[in-house]
Amino acid sequence: MTISVGLLGTLVTICLIIVAAAPVLLLILWLRDWKRKSLW
Amino acid sequence: MNAVTDAILNPAIGWSVLAGFSVLWVFLGWYWGRNADALDDYVLAGRRVGLALGVATAMATWVTSNTTMAAPQIALQMGVWGMFGYSLGAVGLMMFAPLAGRIRRLMPGGYTSGDFVRLRYGKTAWRVFLVISLCYSLGWLVSMGMAGGVLINALTGIPYHYGMTVILAICVSYTLLGGFRAVIGTDFVQAVLILVGVVLIAVLAIGNIGFEAIHSAALERRPELLNLLMPAAIMFLFNNLLFGVGEIFHSNVWWSRAFSFREGVGGKAYLLAGLLWAPIPIVAGFIALPVPALGLNVPAADMVGPLVAANILGATGAVLVLIMVFSALSSSLDSLLAATSILVVEDIYRRHINPAADAPTLRRATSRVIVGLGLLTWMLCAPRIATLAELLYFTGAFVASTIWPIAAGLFLRRANTAGAITGMVVGSAAGLYSYFAIGFYVAALVGAAVSMLCVIIGIIAAPASFEWRLLSEPEPAKEHAA
């Protein structure tokens, strides 16, 4: 039983979107913490 | 075989990249840690770390060179289940989220995971735990140091000893200069670099070859890679999950972060870090699947990531991989140096040798231990004995045996000392036996299962009635009493 191209493509694309969004989210959180003076 | 002629990049480019990032890490480490003179500032970043740095440091530390290099290797050996199995390492981060919040509340002045075991279960359990934790930390340090030398050599042709020495020296330098602030600050930059690198390589692989071509070539030449019923891969999946949970639950790398986050941040930071980390091994592992489509001959499975990147992107791809690997190694090595040094200072120096030590004395001792750990790691890495790096795999049984004593000890008043000690000792022994008798893929599973039984039997047979307030200890004096 092998994984279909559709399932593999969908799965990898979803993961890729999350990984690509992660640095953006980190930068947004950084800015928020920096404005609140709560980076550390 | 000559490493220099076989390397993907030429050594001059390799040295330039290493030099550039080394200067950056040391400068940032010095800048962020320049005011960290007090003990809590130096070893726990003042206990006020916010969400952004909290999420990034948990992610970057858990992305070791294994994630970026071994995920494609595992995918090449075990196919799609290998990718999913690796991503289950995120479960440990997510499961630690409730523990992190509770640790911060119950132990507002705590320093190490050893502090918890000593206060919760007493000195015998604490010493058993310290042996397990220190062996694991040293195993991880040595495996990272050796991986640094081997990977830099394979990518750039720079001799093993030079690469290993450079990465250790840089991490020791900035950790020494800036303490935990340097570690957490550089982790943020390293996390962003790793994420951008993984995404770029995967997007270009898909763009250049396409899902259809990757899938059909794999189906034709390596159908096992797409097999959803590969038994060894499914066992790897469960073992990897428990190994990861054991590593995170016991190690001071993760406890020191829980102590350093400001109130209310720990739970959210670990949960978000786990959610964002989980897809990384799938994307990194996917980089191996174009091998059949590209018709690549992979001489060593652990070099599949760089080979695919270089094949698709040329020298730019290889530089990207080098930056990712250097960032991944640094983010784990600096965390290990910082967390292990405070474990040694708090649990061995202060609690065994100099109980009257004040905060400035402990601060100075931490700096010396960071340098000492760096030197010890260098000496163990220098002979390049492969079996030393493999020692880390043995520790799966040991660390998994600490899962239940830690989790039960944090949440159940009735968890008792005898159950915790037998759980760690008998669990480790059973896990180690199964490692040799059955295989590596069951060591953590057996260690955790036996340890769980011991803890449960202890609770039923002789329930304790622990008072949580006993976990809160006064911090060391700001200066020695006159």
Chain A residues inside the 8 Å CB shell of B49 = 39-40
Q: If you measure CA to CA, which chain B residue comes closest to A22?
A: B276
pLDDT: which is higher, B474 or B252 = B252
Task: Categorize the per-residue pLDDT at B481 as very low, low, confident or very high, splitting at 50, 70 and 90.
Answer: very low
- Pick the residue of A7, A19, A32, A38 with the most B CBs within 10 A to test the interface with B by mutation: A19
CA distance B199 to chain A (A): 6
pLDDT tens digit sequence for B308-358: 888 887 888 889 889 998 999 999 999 999 999 999 999 999 999 999 999
Q: How confident is the model at residue B389 (pLDDT cuts 50, 70, 90)?
A: low
Which residue is listed with tokens 């809160």? B472
* Tens digit of each residue's pLDDT (9 = 90 or more) over B122-149: 999 999 999 999 998 998 899 889 888 9
Of the candidates A15, A27, A29, the beta carbon closest to that of B279 is on A15
Mean pLDDT of B455-479: 90
> Regarding predicted confidence, which is higher, B302 or A21?
A21
B290 pLDDT higher than 60: yes
pLDDT digits (tens, 9 = 90+) for B234-258: 777 787 788 889 899 999 999 999 9
If you ran DSSP here, which 8-state letter would residue B442 be given? G
Q: Which DSSP state fits B479?
A: S
Q: Kindly tell me if the per-residue pLDDT of B264 is higher than 60.
A: yes
Residues in chain B within 8 Å Cβ distance of A23: 191-192, 195-196
The contacts of residue B462 (CB under 8 Å, 6+ apart) are B416, B418
Average pLDDT of the segment spanning A11-40: 95
| Mean pLDDT computed over every residue of chain B | 90
When pLDDT is averaged across residues B37-47 and rounded to a whole number, the result is 94
Q: Is residue B386 scored above 80 in pLDDT?
A: no
**Distance from C-alpha of B129 to C-alpha of B396, rounded to nearest angstrom:** 14
Q: Is the pTM of this model over 0.95?
A: no
Name the percent of chain B lying above pLDDT 90. 63
Q: Using pLDDT thresholds of 50, 70 and 90, give the confidence band for residue B390.
A: low
Out of B20-24, B66-70, B106-110, B360-364, pick the least confident.
B66-70
CB atoms within 10 A of CB B481: 6
Beta-bridged to residue B227, according to DSSP, are A2
Is A9's CB within 8 Å of B80's CB?
A: no
Q: B215 to chain A: which residues are within 8 Å by CB?
A: 5, 8-9
pLDDT category of residue B54 using cuts at 50, 70 and 90: very high
Mean pLDDT, range B77-97, rounded to an integer: 89
Point out the residue among A3, A23, A39 whose CB comes nearest to the CB of B50: A39
Q: Which of A5, A27, A40 is closest, CB to CB, to B50? A: A40
Q: Is the confidence at residue B391, as pLDDT, over 70?
A: no
Report the greatest alpha carbon distance in chain A.
54
Span B296-315, average pLDDT: 79
**Shortest CA distance to B172 belongs to which of B379, B374, B381?**
B374
pLDDT on residue B388:
59
The more confidently predicted of residues B193 and B478 is B193
B5 has a pLDDT exceeding 50:
no
H or E stretch covering B123: helix B123-156
Contact B432, B396 (CB under 8 A): no
**Smallest Cα–Cα separation from B49: which of A40, A15, A31?**
A40
Q: What is the largest CA-CA distance in chain B?
A: 79
Q: How far apart are CA B152 and CA B158, in angstroms?
A: 6
Reading the block at residue B316, the tokens are: 């730019």
Range scoring the smallest mean pLDDT among A32-36, B37-41, B71-75, B365-369: B71-75
pLDDT category of residue B424 using cuts at 50, 70 and 90? very high
CA-nearest residue to B47 within chain A is A40
Average pLDDT over residues B259-268: 96
User: What is the per-residue pLDDT for B1?
Assistant: 38
Q: How far B12 CA lies from chain A's nearest CA (Å)?
A: 30
pLDDT exceeds 50 at position B482:
no
pLDDT attached to residue B466: 97
B81 falls in which pLDDT band (50, 70, 90)? Answer: confident
Instruction: Enumerate the residues of chain B whose CB falls inside 8 A of the CB of residue A37.
Output: none
- The yes-or-no verdict on residue B91 having pLDDT over 90 is yes
On whether the CB atoms of residues B226 and B219 are closer than 8 A, the answer is yes
Please check whether residue B21 touches A, CB under 8 A.
Answer: no
Phi and psi at residue B378, to the nearest 5°: -60, -45
pLDDT at residue number B2: 40
DSSP β-bridge partners for residue B188:
none
Q: How far apart are CA B44 and CA B194, in angstroms?
A: 24
Element (H, E) at B286: helix B279-286
Q: What's the pLDDT tens digit per position in B104-113?
A: 999 999 999 9
Q: How many inter-chain contacts (A to B, CB under 8 Å) are there?
A: 97
CB proximity B17 to A under 8 Å: no
Q: Which one-letter amino acid corresponds to residue A25?
A: L
Of B3 and B313, the one with more pLDDT = B313
What mean pLDDT do residues B438-445 have?
A: 82
Q: Do residue A18 and residue B279 have CB atoms under 8 angstroms apart?
A: yes
Q: How confident is the model at residue B6 (pLDDT cuts 50, 70, 90)?
A: low
Question: CA-CA distance, B377 to B381, in Å (whole number)?
Answer: 6
Residue-wise pLDDT tens digits, B204-237: 888 888 889 999 988 888 888 888 877 767 777 7
Distances in whole angstroms, Cα of residue B224 to Cα of each of A2, B70, B190, B219, B233: 8, 18, 34, 8, 11
Q: What is the ipTM for the molecules in this complex?
A: 0.95
CA–CA distance from B68 to each of B47, B62, B121, B287, B329 (Å)? 30, 11, 38, 10, 10
**B contacts of A29 (beta carbons < 8 Å):** 51-52, 55
Inter-chain CB proximity B55 and A29 less than 8 Å: yes
pLDDT digits (tens, 9 = 90+) for A21-34: 999 999 999 999 99
